[in-house]
């Protein structure tokens, strides 16, 4: 389905855009007025990530990143009962191996951060989140949750190491809260209210209002300079991995570089002329994954 001003890719729907054929079997994807909606669409399996979804998620993030018409994304789950319950143990995601034949961390590329996407992404948690589903909560930019959402990490209860998700969550939350979630396994279920208190979730709203609230936030975000937002997001996330001096130096370099571009001059000119700015299109940075 292709219409003026919007387009969509949904399960078992083929679409050709710019000479490229896209097909998603486990995701719903559409862009409307600058906002991309990426919906995990395996409700019968509680939106668990299987081998197909694990391959399709990087494709969806690449599609979003390279589309100049897509300025901000919302990622959520279909069905309402679960946002994402991690890897599907009945159909595990395929592992990419390194030169020595060992499984590589590059096998897990489910989130915008893991795919080096610097456009803004809102995560709308509309149900339970288990295990690997915490990747999205830890690595999207702004986290909204329904008041009935719950969070748990059952890895250790089934003999698996809980490492990647807690490590990422520790950049948002107090260490003790992360360790409690990771070590208690099935014995610990965190409510949306506790997740908000501890910094995992940025805002709670009624379930029936969740997507509309995310859309209103996305609508505010999409009006800003796409290139300025990308540079801002990259500077902030990168600072989590570097010392203050190096992060500040890199941030200053990003400011100087952006000030040589179109949107810097256009923003100042539009402000002086009291009119909406006409931002340049932005289609990602083609960083290696």
CATH number, domain containing residue 198: 3.90.226.10
Domain of 67 in residue numbering reads as 2-221
What torsion do the CA atoms of 146, 88, 79, 138 make, to the nearest 10 degrees? Answer: 30
Q: Residue 133: CA atoms inside 13 Å, Cβ hemisphere, count? A: 29
Angle between the 226-239 and 262-273 helix axes, to the nearest 10 degrees?
120
* 235 and 94 co-located in one domain: no
* 128 and 256 co-located in one domain: no
Whole-model pTM?
A: 0.89
Tokens 């200053």 correspond to 252
Q: What percent of the chain has pLDDT over 90?
A: 81
Residue 13 lies in a domain: yes
**For residue 103, is pLDDT > 60?**
yes
Least confident window among 72-81, 222-231, 279-288:
279-288
Residue 185 lies in a domain: yes
* 230 and 119 co-located in one domain: no
Q: How confident is the model at residue 16 (pLDDT cuts 50, 70, 90)?
A: very low
Residue 21: per-residue pLDDT: 40
Task: Compute the average pLDDT of residues 49-55.
Answer: 96
* 180 and 269 co-located in one domain: no
**For residue 10, is pLDDT > 50?**
no
* 121 and 249 co-located in one domain: no
Domains in the chain: how many in total?
Answer: 2
Three-state DSSP at 85 gives coil
* 12 and 154 co-located in one domain: yes
Q: Which of 129, 26, 29 minimizes the C-alpha distance to 82?
A: 129
Rounded distance, CA 84 to CA 61, Å?
17
Contact (CB, 8 A) for 289 and 116: yes
pLDDT in tens, 60-76: 999 999 999 999 999 99
Rounded distance, CA 231 to CA 242, Å?
16
Residue 99: per-residue pLDDT: 82
Least confident window among 20-29, 174-183, 187-196, 262-271:
20-29
* 55 and 138 co-located in one domain: yes
Contact (CB, 8 A) for 115 and 109: yes
* 231 and 154 co-located in one domain: no
What residues are paired with 257 via a beta bridge? none
Residue 80: per-residue pLDDT: 86
Residue 17: per-residue pLDDT: 44
pLDDT in tens, 152-194: 999 999 999 999 999 999 999 999 999 999 999 999 999 999 9
């Amino acid at each position: 389905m292709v219409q003026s001003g919007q387009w969509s890719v949904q399960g078992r729907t083929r679409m050709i855009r710019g000479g490229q054929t896209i097909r998603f079997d486990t995701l719903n994807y559409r862009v409307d007025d600058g906002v991309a909606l990426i919906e995990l669409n395996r409700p019968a399996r509680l939106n668990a990530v299987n081998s197909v979804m694990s391959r399709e998620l990087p494709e969806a993030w690449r599609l979003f990143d390279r589309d100049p018409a897509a300025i901000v994304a919302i990622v959520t789950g279909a069905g309402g009962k679960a946002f994402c319950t991690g890897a599907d143990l009945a159909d595990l995601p395929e592992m990419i191996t390194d030169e020595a034949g060992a499984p590589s961390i590059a096998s897990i590329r489910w989130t915008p951060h893991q795919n080096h996407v610097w456009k803004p992404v809102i995560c709308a948690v509309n149900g339970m989140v288990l295990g690997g589903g915490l990747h999205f909560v830890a690595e999207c930019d702004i986290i909204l949750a329904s008041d009935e959402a719950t969070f748990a990490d059952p890895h250790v209860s089934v003999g698996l190491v809980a490492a990647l998700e807690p490590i990422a969550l520790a950049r948002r939350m107090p260490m003790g809260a992360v360790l409690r979630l990771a070590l208690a396994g099935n014995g610990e279920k965190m409510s949306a209210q506790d997740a908000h208190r501890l910094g995992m979730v940025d805002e709670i709203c009624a379930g029936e209002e969740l997507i509309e609230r995310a859309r209103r936030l996305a609508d505010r975000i999409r009006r800003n300079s796409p290139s300025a937002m990308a540079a801002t997001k990259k500077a902030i996330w990168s600072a989590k991995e570097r010392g203050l001096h190096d992060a500040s130096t890199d941030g200053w370099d990003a400011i100087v570089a952006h000030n040589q571009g179109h949107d810097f001059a256009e923003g100042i000119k539009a402000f002086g002329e009291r009119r909406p700015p006409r931002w340049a299109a932005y289609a990602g940075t083609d960083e290696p994954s």
